[in-house]
Each structure stands twice: as structure tokens, then as C-alpha cells.
Amino acid sequence: MTDATLQTGSIVERDQAKWNKKLEHNVVALIAHAARTSGRSAFSVGLEMNKARRGRARIQLDEYVKFRLYDQDRFTQEERDEFITFMLQNACIQKCNDTSWFAVTEDKWLSSLILAADDLPAPEIVAMIDVSARRYHGVDAVRSGEDLRALLAGADFPIFGKHNRGLMSVGVFIIEAADDEFVHLRDHGAMTYYKFFENIIGTDAFVLQKFVHNHAFLRQFTETSATVRMVNMLTDDGLYVPSAVLKLPVSRNLADNFWREGNLICDIAPDTGEIRTIVSTKGPDLVHHDAHPETGDALIGQCLPYWEELLDVNRRVTELHTPLRYQSTDMAITDDGPVVIEVNAGSSFTLPQYASGKGFMTPKVRQLFRSWGCDFIWE
């Protein structure tokens, strides 16, 4: 299909609308689902939901259901008290980090320079697409369709594009081929270079990178780059990694973020790389699998390749970003070892909780956040 199939607005605007849609919830349906699943009365569940939402952990209604906090036999009170909402993660990130360093991670081109300066493995940048006058040291700036046509002539495909200031994989695309008239995009088909700028780029800046291919162990499940999220806390005693999560895209999804339909997450043992869970979503619920739901292959109990090398790269990344006491590193694992995809000034609270089925705010994590000035975190 060609230009006629495109929607209005840029890809960032369309992806953001999809993400916002994920945040919309039917309260009555959530209460009814929790009551039906637990065998409790809707009145009892509704009261407990509202109490959790108003409590110190600010658990939102959809989180209450996904965490299965309505199941009174599932957790001890101590275990229930370790869950926390995504609503408080930015407050923690702002409090315990040097906010002047946020640009170092949030501007993906700038982040690539920092990583390259330390010779850390990262995707090669092909070019920057930016209609503004900004210059980019060491790479071409593509300003127009004519610039892009010249760049893609004879290029190695696929090429991965992502929003230079994007979060949650909002604004990603994959260029699979190009000719004199059309850019050929996965999921969008062929479009003219003019329409590519109008319906994909808009006024935003994008990074074009060489596509990162998964290690053979992961390629059996997906061709799209999977990443490991290492959640990092820099303590006086050194690096502490309370959680590691594999974000595993399915089929031909463009990116690995969990909000994209069908994608999986796996809780990973931070010290060994052992896969401990496989989790997907179904309606308001999280679903735990014994094997990969598409292929039927066993995953639980297996260890991800190059784990020692990944731990070393993660340590080096955190040492480059020490003003960020709470940070995370997203890394792909290729046939040649780990590759740093992104560095984040903080990390999602919900991701490790969804993957593990356990609360993120363990006593040690709470103590660290409180020691960094997050006095709204309970003891």
C-alpha cells in the first residue's frame, strides 16, 4: 500500500495517542473483573481499590488488578506493602538524581557521543533526520526528502528510526528498502519521500541507526530487537541491581515495549541471567506462561547468553552516569555480545513488578530512596 493508507499527523502523535489510550480504564469493569476472579463482593473490592489508590503507595485501579492485590491469599501484608504505583516514579527520579544530567540520556544523539567516548558498544548512527538548523557532530543531518533519497541510495537495510527525545518507543519505524520514488517501511508500506516527512517525521528529530540483530537464542522468538532492562542504584557500597527484565517483542512488532500488543516481559535473575518468568497481558490481567506463547519453546530456567559481558557493560555505563543515582540501561544481546540501546535517568516501577509478580519497593530499595531524600517513601 502507498500514501493513501497513511493517517494524519506524525508517527510520534499517532504513537502517543495509542499510549494514552492504554491509560484509559473502565472503573466499573475493573471492579467487576476483580470481584469475579476473586469470588469477593464488588463492594469489598471497590473499597479496597480506593484505599490502595489513596494510600502511601498510590496504587492505581488498573495496577491493583494487574498486581492481583484483590487476591487475599496471594501475598502476606509485608509483600503487599512492597508494591508501588508508576505515579511515584518521576518524583523519585527527580529527587535522587542530578536533573542537569537528564539531557545526557534523553537526547539520544548526545547519549551516543557519551557512550562512544568510552568505547562502549552501541548501534551505529547512520544519520540524523532534523528539519531544523541543528548540527550533529560526526553524522549527516537529513533535512529533506532529497537528502533522504541520497542517503538511502545503496544503504544497508533494515534501518531503525527513533525519536531523538522519545520515551516508551513512541515514534519508531523501520525502513526495509528504498528506491528512487518510495521509502518502504515495515507496517506502513511504500510512501513517497515527501509523505515520509509529512506523515512520519513532522517537525521532530529522529535518529537513524543500523538495525541491531538479536543473538541466535533470541532470534528463534523474534527478529525485532529485544532488550534487557537493568535497573541500577548507585550506593555507597557500589552498584546494586534490584531487578533485570527481558523485554521480548513478538512477531513483527516494531519495538519491545510492553504496551505494544502481544509483547512479553521476563523477570531475569540479575546475577546469573536466568529467565524466571514469561508474562503477557490479556485484557486487564497479566498472564504468566510456562513456555513462549507463540513458539511453545521453553524459556524458564534458561540463561541469557553473554551475561558476564552484559554485567560488565552495565557497570561501565553506570560509572559514566554517576550523577544519576537511580538509572537503568537497556541492552540488546547480539551474536557478538551486548549492545547498549538506551540509558535512562531512572526506570519504570511497574516493569519489574509486572515481570516478577512481586513489589519493587523491598526494604533495601525503600531505604536507598529515603536516604536520597525521597521522604514520601515509607520505611
Of 304, 115, 321, residue with least CA distance to 209: 115
pLDDT value at residue 4: 41
Question: What tens digit of pLDDT does each residue of 245-260 get?
Answer: 999 998 778 888 888 8
Question: If you write DSSP's letter for every residue of 198-221 in order, what string do you get?
Answer: IIIITT--EEEEEPPPPPHHHHTT
Using 70 as the pLDDT threshold, list the residues of the chain that sit under it.
1-8
pLDDT value at residue 14: 84
Of 213, 209, 207, residue with least CA distance to 227: 213
Secondary structure class of 154 (helix, strand, coil): coil
Question: What tens digit of pLDDT does each residue of 309-365 get?
Answer: 999 999 999 999 999 999 999 999 999 999 999 999 999 999 999 999 999 999 999
The pTM for the full model equals 0.94
Q: What percent of the chain has pLDDT over 70?
A: 98
Q: Which three cell numbers stand for residue 19?
A: 499510549
With cell 537503568, the residue in question is: 328
What H or E segment, with its residue span, contains residue 129?
strand 125-129
Query: Helix 307-320 and helix 108-117: axis angle, to 10°?
Result: 110
Q: What is the CATH number of domain 91-118+215-371?
A: 3.30.470.20
Q: Which three cell numbers stand for residue 239?
A: 552498584
What H or E segment, with its residue span, contains residue 356?
helix 350-356
Query: Helix 42-54 and helix 27-38: axis angle, to 10°?
Result: 120
Domain ranges for the chain = 1-74+124-211, 91-118+215-371
* DSSP at 197: I
Give Cα separations from 360 to 82, 83, 94, 240, 353 (angstroms): 6, 6, 18, 13, 6
Question: Whole-angstrom Cα distance, residue 69 to residue 73?
Answer: 9
How many CA atoms does the CB half-sphere of 274 hold within 13 Å? 6
